[in-house]
Structure 1
Amino acid sequence: MPSWVSKQDWVSVSSFSRAYRESIQQGYRDDVSTYLIVTLILGFIDGVANAACSATIVSILMTLIPGHESSITAWTEMFLGFGYMFGPVLGSLLFEVGGFALPYYVVGGIVLVLAFALLLIVPNVKPGSLAKGQETKDDTKPSLTIKNVVTSFRLSLPFLDNFIIYCGNGMVDSMLQPHMRKSAAQATQFQVSMAFLLMAAFYMLSTPVVGYACDRIKSPILFSIAGNIFMFVAFLFVGPAPFFPSLSASVPLLLGIMPIFGLGYGFVLVSTFSRAYKESVQQGYRDDVNTYMVLTGLWTASFHLGSFVGPTVAGFIVDAIGFPQTSQISMAVFLLMAIVDCIQYYCQGRKSKSRSQYENLT
């Protein structure tokens, strides 16, 4: 083993090498071009399937369980987090037991069984269906469209918040590991894993709580403001900021920051959908499955776009100026989003107060 390769890195590389050698031995093609083409095609199919599944299932649940829109989103994201946590573990175990192909056969079989189960279990909610418990359809209200969202700042701002939070999360996911390993922290691979585990744990714990609260408060934007402030503080210390000369990157500091990342991520993620839904209802659009489909589709698109843009842009910037300086750019962006959300919250308060005064006069 080369002296500059850590034991953890060597295990990771050797595991991949074993999987690669076994795939070749089992008759799979050793062709980089074919691999890249097939990977892109499968990635595209996976993205379409993921968007279609998440948008439709969430919309159906909102129709069947009205009044709990934020909680449905929160619980969906919590189980998605569980999947991201236990998926690599399950895949590793299956690989050790049955080799390269077994994880794909098992997971693919489970997905296929679930697809048929959905046909039997989930009710057929047709386009235009009202939420359960609503007796009549008000045809005087317009149907929400993507154009309505894009042309309304109050409707589009939650999706911008969602995009930004996923950009920040993408940067952390892709850049934190080399930062922890190569900075003054000199973290081990186990400590890096613990950092991501702490962030995921606090994210999953916060989402159902925030969802429950957003369903019951008038201004879920307060959670977006708090979440952006959490992300601002987390990026302030993850570098840490150059204007803290006596503070350097260390394992205790980075592990202590990870829960703040998880809380900020969960706060913004859940509250953005609640804000968009309540704003669409306030603006007089129909409260039906079509509205849910538009909102969930745009919400899903915004976080997938952020997941792509975040690590891609961060990679170029980190190569150019380094991780601490890049984290300060992210810090400034989240501070700006917190200020914009505060302005919107103030304007909403003024508008609500003016409406109440007008109603009292009439």
Structure 2
Amino acid sequence: MFTRKEILTLISMASVNFGSMICYSILGPFFPTEAVKKGASQTVVGLIFGCYAVSNLIGSLVLGKYIVQIGAKFMLIAGLFVSSCCTIIFGFLDRAPAGPIFISLCFIVRSLDAVGFGAAMTSAFAMTAKIFPNNVATVLGSLEIFTGLGLILGPPLGGWLYQSFGYEVPFLSLGCLLLIMVPFNIYVLPSIEAVPSKDSFFRLLTHVKTILVCYVIFTLSAGLGFLDATLSLFAINRFGLSTGYVGLIMLGLSLPYCLASPLMGYFTDKYPATRVAFLVTGGITATIGFCLLGPAPFLHIQSQLWLLVVMLGLIGFSLGMSAIPTFPEIITCAYEIGFEEGLSTLGMVSGLFGAVWCTGMFYGPIVGGIIVQHLSFEWAATVQGALAFLVTLCNVKSKINCIMFLQKARESWSGSKNNLGSKTDIKNETRSSLHKPSLIVS
């Protein structure tokens, strides 16, 4: 049974995940089209999405390092407040003059929103791992249901509100929803006291396995960022869909992720040795999904709407397989190299996770937007598939090296044991010969 503190934490984290992700995901169906009307190119739209990731990256690293000094509860509540205010302000940007002024304001407001979002999520991950140390993946996987619900409801709700009421209403309504969660979390969220640690991110990155897991996180977020910035325009231009239908198509990505996450979390908590297997399987699945999303030009398959929806579902399921095991795996790596158990270490792990995730979210929209602008959506999706395939190969190679190392260590230990046994036998024979009486023939 959960204690009162654990139940309140779950309620709080669920509200943070849901509110933050629904506000984040409403832009997908209509903002790229609106930004193009205001004079932004496809590359600039990618940069607007990408600047969110850069600001989130910086915020996650700094705030993750100083989470104990700032206070985990205060960081989460302040982050929610900043993010909600920025979401509301973003709703008034359609009144700004088209061109450089509109684009500049988008960058400024989006960047501040990202810092607030980074503060809330960094604190949420760290507090969850602190309060549920033995069930990190299970709890995070269960909370990802609410992340998935936010991602599921955001695009269709945003598209419907935009079509029905215009540009401002989606941001104002959902920004106010997030603002209501500030006093709610002040009341329900427990306070956590901790001692600061002297460890650093750089020491955490000296572990090879940590770097590989970070690369997995990077490819996942790069793929999501790419789809956020480019999928709506591709679906509208290729299939002639409205923004409302584009929001429904994005359900194909969010729903499988929402369903798969708690199952993967429970399974990887119960059988930690399966984490690498899930990372590899998820990478292969993502590779297939991205290569058939366009589909890839070299496959010579005609693009069809049903195929697009099915591949989005496959990518969403692969995200559940790959994303959920990564956070507890980095925690394991931190403890393996001697980090102290506590909120400070969990804050750094959470900050590193957020920073790497944001690096991918920066890379995905920008590089994806450039490839779409100069080549096509099909080629850009293929590049994302190639990234997923590369990280799969790295994980397989790492696992093989680990098995070979353990096998050699076992053989070396067995050999040394045999040598020790033979040396002991020789010593015993020598000792017994010294004690035997001599036969002297005169």
Equivalent pair of 2:155/2:247 in contact (CA under 8 Å): no
TM-score (norm 2): 0.65
Tell me what 1:81 maps to: 148
Decide which of 385, 388, 392 is 1:334's aligned counterpart: 388
User: Which residue does the alignment assign to 1:199?
Assistant: 253
- State whether residues 143 and 291 of structure 1, in contact with CA within 8 Å, keep that contact through their aligned partners in structure 2: no
Give CA-to-partner distance per residue, 1:14-52, whole Å, 9 cap, x none.
xx99xxxx9799xx6657555444433322221111111
Alignment coverage as a number of residue pairs: 330
- Pick from 212, 215, 219: which aligns with 1:164? 219
Q: Which has the larger radius of gyration?
A: 2
Q: Which residue of 2 aligns with 1:72?
A: 139
Normalising by structure 1, we get a TM-score of 0.78
| Contact 2:219/2:384 (8 A) holds in 1 | no
Give distance in 2, aligned partners of 1:114 and 1:47. 17
Determine which of 317, 335, 357 is the counterpart of 1:263: 317
Q: Percent identity?
A: 20
Contact 1:191 1:251 in 2 (8 A): no
Look up the SS of the partner of 1:215 in the other structure: helix
Map Cα deviations across residues 281-328 of structure 1 (whole Å, 9 max, x no partner).
233322211111111111111112211210110111122222223333
Q: Pick one of 308, 319, 336 that aligns with 2:373.
A: 319
Mapped pair 1:52 → 2:119: yes
Residue 283 (structure 1) aligns with: 337
Structure 2 vs 1, CA of residues 103 and 335 (structure 1 numbering), >3 Å: closer, same or farther?
closer
CA deviation digits over 1:131-170, x for unaligned, max 9? xxxxxxxxxxx86420112232211221121111111222
- Distance across 2 between alignment mates of 1:226 and 1:259: 15
User: Which residue in 1 is equivalent to 2:353?
Assistant: 299
1:210 aligned to 2:264? yes
Q: For 1:217 and 1:166, how far apart are their aligned partners in 2?
A: 25
Determine which structure has the larger helix proportion and give its number: 2
TM-aligned CA deviation for residue 116 of structure 1: 2.8
The residue type equivalent to 2:322 in the other structure is: V
Aligned twin of 2:128: 61
Letter of the structure 2 residue corresponding to residue 158 of structure 1: V
Matches of 2:201 and 2:93 in 1, distance apart? 47
Structure 1 match to 2:230: 175
Measured after TM superposition, the shift of residue 205 of structure 1 is 0.7
Rounded Cα–Cα distance in structure 1 between residues aligned with 2:184 and 2:412? 53
Extract unaligned runs of 5+ from structure 1: 1-7, 130-141
Change beyond 3 A, Cα 1:206–1:47:
same
Change (3 A) 1:194 1:23: closer
Q: Give the match for residue 188 of structure 1.
A: 241
Distance in 2 between residues matched to 1:250 and 1:345, nearest whole Å: 38
**Structure 1 pair 85/331, CA: closer, same or farther in 2 (3 Å)?**
closer
- 2-side partners of 1:151 and 1:36: how far apart? 39
Match of 1:127, SS? Answer: coil
